[in-house]
Amino acid sequence: MMIPQAAEDQARIALETSLCGVRLKNPLIAASGTFGFGREYDELYDISCWGAVSVKGLTLKPRLGNPPSRIAETPSGMLNSVGLQNPGVEGFIKEELPWLLEKKVPIIANVAGFAVEDYCESVLRLSDTAIDILELNISCPNVQCGGMHFGVSPQSASAITGAVRKVCKKPLMVKLSPNVSDIAAVAKATEEAGADAVSLINTLTGMAVDTKTRRPTLANITGGLSGPAVKPVALRMVWQAASVLNIPTVGMGGIMTGDDVLQFMMVGATAVMVGSANIFDPMAGPRILGELLQYADENEGVKLSELVGSLRTD
């Protein structure tokens, strides 16, 4: 259903929001790891239609990632063990960032690492660029602590957030792992350590088995589960985190439609990230945006930002 131009203009205004002081034309963010640096999708449509783009996870040095097979389809979702393949921070700054800046869309740099020093050095270098927000991926294994992931406990999440906060000159958003016992406690710990926002959930750990070979489907054995299958878990965790925080929460996990976006906002998300949907449907971004514009047109006078945390539990 087409919306008259005047009504569409009004609907677009209703979609505007702000994240960490950065104006977003709508609450849709292309999630890190599923959108690359936007080049391939920009061949299909103008990626400036997104509220923001979170780029592929960056490490201090370039990485080739894990050996294949690295992707496996699962019921209502997918497993990935890509292994943070990326050009490194300097490669991003020199080769990808100039092109992205031309797209006039807010840029979120997702940073990963395996030691505190790596995180801090990456963030220090990125802080002097024109990116808008830094997203700290704390689902990585800390090699200095025997491979324990940075985000598994409030203490370790606080420690890495605090260390990065000291060198970060940009708004700092921490991406939380769902593979924890108390997501609210971890979220609160990052806020107290200086985070300006949190994003969740990252992928759930899972695996798949090939019965013909009696071997794991993924070469890395386990991988990260994403897609519609994780949405109920994601909604629950976003609701729990947003309930205890005084900073914005960005929700993600199985978002495929405009209605999914509204659900995440109602449980407390200021904005949302769309991940696996981009792989299942390369036109997911503009399609979901169109559905939100339709909602805003049909609910004239309602700003999407007014839906944040409006869930009724009585």
Residue 125 lies in a domain: yes
153 in a domain, yes or no? yes
Residue 107 to residues 123, 170, 222, 242, Cα–Cα distance (Å): 14, 11, 30, 23
Q: What is the model's pLDDT at position 4? A: 72
Predicted local distance difference test score (pLDDT) of residue 9: 84
Contact 285, 279 (CB under 8 A): no
Domain-embedded: residue 306:
no
Q: What is the pLDDT of residues 5-19, one digit of tens each?
A: 877 888 899 999 999
Which of 20, 120, 140, 168 is an active site residue? 140
Q: Are 266 and 287 in contact (CB under 8 A)?
A: no
Task: Examine residue 12 and state whether it is found in any structural domain, yes or no.
Answer: no
- The answer to whether residue 220 sits within a structural domain is no
Is the separation of the CB atoms in 139 and 84 below 8 Å?
Answer: no
Q: What is the largest CA-CA distance in the chain?
A: 59
Here the CATH number for the domain that contains residue 91 is 3.20.20.70
Rounded-to-integer distance, Cα 151 and Cα 294, Å: 38
- Count how many domains the chain has: 1
Give the pLDDT confidence score for residue 8 in this predicted structure. Answer: 81
- pLDDT digits 0-9 by tens, 184-240: 999 999 999 999 999 999 999 999 999 999 999 999 999 999 999 999 999 999 999
* Beta strands in the chain, from DSSP E residues, in sequence order: 17-19, 22-24, 28-30, 52-54, 71-74, 77-80, 107-111, 133-137, 141-142, 148-149, 172-175, 197-200, 204-207, 209-210, 215-216, 222-226, 249-252, 271-274
Reading the block at residue 261, the tokens are: 């976006």
**CA separation for the pair 8, 183 (Å, rounded):** 38
Residue 145 has pLDDT above 80, yes or no: no
108: phi then psi, degrees, rounded to nearest 5: -110, 120
pLDDT per residue as tens digits for the range 291-311: 999 999 999 878 999 999 999
Range of the structural domain that residue 24 is part of: 20-63+85-204+225-282
Give catalytic status of residue 49 as yes or no: no
Per-residue pLDDT at 1: 56
Mean of all residue pLDDT scores within the chain:
95
Counting beta carbons within 10 angstroms of the beta carbon of residue 36, is it exposed (0 to 12), middle (13 to 18) or buried (19 or more)? Answer: middle
Residue 219 lies in a domain: no
Residue 146 pLDDT greater than 70, yes or no: no
Task: Answer yes or no: is 94 within a domain.
Answer: yes
- pTM score, two decimals? 0.96
For β-strands 71-74 and 17-19, DSSP reports them as: unpaired
Is 119 part of any domain?
A: yes
